[in-house]
Structure 1
């Protein structure tokens, strides 16, 4: 069931559902989440079962503010506090040491936990109402509201399409960012980028006062984190990344047989009337991120068998979009 997320009555219905141990479709600025009380292990287990997600693959815990992070964090290094001050609320997740006795199931059994403070006004209101509830709900475990490994949802309708009418979903409109948060590991002496998003390494490094490292620069011992599997974010159709010349050559070769090939490209391409699934990717990385998952879902809904996507530029501002597309293409 989809409810308008604006009225107070919808927020209260959401909090009551969470207090009962039910799941909730929650809008955030990145993607819609499948939320549960992060300290209710039975409810968290329901997230894993509903998504078909391995129980050792950790979930991100959403909190109302930096103060809410203290319930879950065993410690917060100075650079993590600086990142929180600069980018919370916003599309940034910090992996920090987990305080003993909290969010064990949500953390996938690890001694660290991923924390984020979402900027979406509906998410903010739900988290504030959860904190005011008696007993208080301190945080919400909320991975993307889709089947494990598939395309993330950026509208309430996408969530309903995944899980049906039985799930309560708050409609907060289309997500303004459109891809999942940047993830920084803060469990080491220096910040380490585990998953790119729409916050560049340059901005992150400037905010925390030291260079944000790539995980490839350190020994392979980072904590497990959401959305970092090689194959992820995949539509039903097979995704292939190609440059503009390869795209044009493929369309020319297939000719009239390209009816079930979807193309998503920034470069202008020659196409026939049979190429009904040719769509223009924005030149701006933020706009491309905002529509990426919705476009992949639309190609699936239109019956595409193959999705050919022009490889994004190598500029750092495209890192998040390129990461999602590479993982979607790896599923083939």
Structure 2
């Protein structure tokens, strides 16, 4: 199969492939998704095959509007409307109870709920509207690998496995959407993102956080909840800014090539010794979140690099989402400056 790259003025051609049951990757403001007609179980099954994704992992359904969701799900509490008024289109995914026979179990992972999102990317909204159906859209990468933030990332993993890629340039946010479960009495965040708990609570009142890692035999209610996820080939070691000098000495002692993924202040520090490769995360947690997956993929171009010292941030605001992805990419491995060793932490 030849994977066709579609430009923004070729949305109609990409939508035709979706209507024909083919797979087309598309950009959102967060990451690129792997699109298929959510009402076509045969097409959706191909998503799992292309990604190598476990079939118990539910898929996010992308819609053109909140009105479209009403065909498939119910809003028992009224919170959904308040949140869509505040945040849609945008990086907030919401889980709702489904109407009977709304989607095939292949979309929902066998659950009686589904996750919906209205992305803030005009060409993707045009794609959904042109296709005339909601579109499933897990990240357009090989399962478990860093999520794609450019069309080139998609092609690296899926070239020849999918029909097309709608190229909308680099994504803006860089980490996937916040996932909020509205199917329970007290809403709960299952995956943190750019829209924070504080943002949501200003609209609907108190909610809970529950973005834990699921066990191998547990069915996740939302994507991205597996223990190790977003992982490059090298071992990622979460390293906080003040600990880099000690972490570099530790990495040198391992006698293997290593790299550093950090903000410019750290990369430009005079006391940082020379290392194999480096990747800039910019100057803040905002830029770091945008470039995190790009950085993890960068080091896969250098198979000789066995260790990546990646900068960690405080778990507040956007830092919660950033650290959620970084710690999963590292399998919870951190550098401990007190012991001068790495350790695997529990979430």
TM-score (norm. length: structure 2): 0.86
Checking the alignment, whether the CA contact within 8 Å between 1:74 and 1:100 is kept in structure 2 is: no
Checking the alignment, whether the CA contact within 8 Å between 1:259 and 1:276 is kept in structure 2 is: no
Alpha-carbon distance in 2 for matches of 1:54, 1:253: 36
CA shift digits 1:133-161 (9 cap, x unpaired)? xxxx2x00110001111110000011011
Alpha-carbon distance in 2 for matches of 1:324, 1:283: 19
- Structure 1 residues 216 and 5, CA gap change in structure 2 (3 angstroms): closer
* Structure 1 consecutive aligned stretches of length 4 or more whose deviation exceeds 6 Å: 256-259
Checking the alignment, whether the CA contact within 8 Å between 2:211 and 2:225 is kept in structure 1 is: no
The match for 1:134 is none
Alpha-carbon distance in 2 for matches of 1:250, 1:285: 20
The aligned runs of 1:1-332 (5 Å cut-off) are: 1-7=3-9, 10-104=10-104, 105-131=106-132, 137=133, 139-165=134-160, 167=162, 168-208=164-204, 210-215=205-210, 224-255=221-252, 260-266=257-263, 268=266, 269=269, 270-273=271-274, 275-303=275-303, 304-330=305-331
Alpha-carbon distance in 2 for matches of 1:233, 1:254: 22
Residue segments in structure 2 that go unaligned for 5+ positions in a row: 213-217, 334-347
CA shift digits 1:43-96 (9 cap, x unpaired)? 001101111111111000000011111122133521121111111101000000
Size of the alignment, in residue pairs? 320
CA shift digits 1:214-270 (9 cap, x unpaired)? 2289xxx99611111121111111111123344211323555977721112235243
DSSP-derived class of the 1:106 partner: helix
CA shift digits 1:177-229 (9 cap, x unpaired)? 11100000000122111110011111111022x11212289xxx996111111
Residue segments in structure 1 that go unaligned for 5+ positions in a row: 132-136
- Structure 1 residues 46 and 62, CA gap change in structure 2 (3 angstroms): same
Alpha-carbon distance in 2 for matches of 1:285, 1:244: 12
Checking the alignment, whether the CA contact within 8 Å between 1:2 and 1:171 is kept in structure 2 is: no
Name whichever of 159-168 and 241-250 sits farther off. 241-250
RMSD, aligned CA? 2.3
- Structure 1 residues 258 and 264, CA gap change in structure 2 (3 angstroms): farther
